Amino acid sequence: MPELPEVETTVKGLRPHCLNQTIARIQVFQPRLRWPIPEHIQQLEGAEIKTITRRAKYILMQTSQGHMIWHLGMSGSMRILDAADPSAAHEHVKIDFENGQSLRYIDPRRFGALLFTNSDPFQHKLIQPLGPEPLGKDFNIDYLQRQCEKRATAIKNVIMDSHCVVGIGNIYACESLFLAAINPKTRASRISRKRLQRLVDSIRQMLQLAIKQGGTTLQDFTQTDGQPGYFAQSLNVYGNRGECPNCARVVKRITQGQRSTFYCSHCQH
DNA sequence: AAAGACACCTGTCCGC
DNA sequence: TGCGGACAGGTGTCTT
């Protein structure tokens, strides 16, 4: 589920509750996430949370004794609750703070991750090879054009490739291509600079608006206070089994890279 | 280097 | 009501 806006929403929700807090206790109820949660995560008991940042869809928590690297996978979410509150189903990690609050990690499908590193998390083997942030200055028309020139595959596959640009998952790939009026099947190398510029702009606009609205909730995702994200009401094509909001023709659904693609063949070329 | 298939896991929804 | 199958927001890894 979580794409960049949902992870960003999560980070913003965590900061006021977690920054400068001291970890009193870490409980791992289910270590078998995408990778096993390392046992030395326990070393962080007694540590203080210094910063919380996002890189791609990873959440980086810097503490006084090392870094936690989190990923929400397809169905992960985080909540802030009182330490005494009961655990929900699929709650795999509980971190109690000395102030009586706690951070919970909930993930029904367990595609997420919690990793630990002592050194620079940006040098971690999962983080280091990632492409630029879509909202940063390194993601621009010159960069995207260079990436697309060498790619024969469909444009949707390119913008979902984290080595090209990070943070764009299936929802926002479909939606930004709709906004840019580009057919998701078009070979990346055959799209004009002008149209790629439109795509860059669309991706930016879309992600910024989604962040403002707290992300997209389809099923599992909640903000850290338990509220859903409200961007779902702004979706034009993703999950749309009816008509295009622009031209009223039926929205098409195809499969690309084993993922569903929704688009309007009349409005997108 | 690039492209595609597959794996990991649980819950939900739809048709019969 | 129950059962089987398709499908779901991600992405590292392996094979072509």
Per-residue pLDDT at A239 exceeds 80:
yes
Alpha carbon A7 to its chain centroid, in Å, reads 5
CA A48 to C1' B16, whole Å: 56
Closest residue, by C-alpha, to the C1' of C12: A126
Confidence check: pLDDT of A195 > 90: yes
Read off the pTM.
Answer: 0.97
Question: Å from A36 (CA) to C16 (C1')?
Answer: 30
Asked if the model's pLDDT at residue A1 lies above 70, the reply is no
Give the tens place of pLDDT for each residue, A153-170. 999 999 999 999 999 999
- Through-space separation of residue A112 CA and nucleotide C4 C1' in angstroms: 28
pLDDT tens-digit series, residues A102-156:
999 999 999 999 999 999 999 999 999 999 999 999 999 999 999 999 999 999 9
Q: Does residue A232 register a pLDDT over 90?
A: no
Strand B: positions under 7 A of a protein C-beta atom: 1-12
Residues 237-266 of A with CB under 7 A from strand C: 258-260
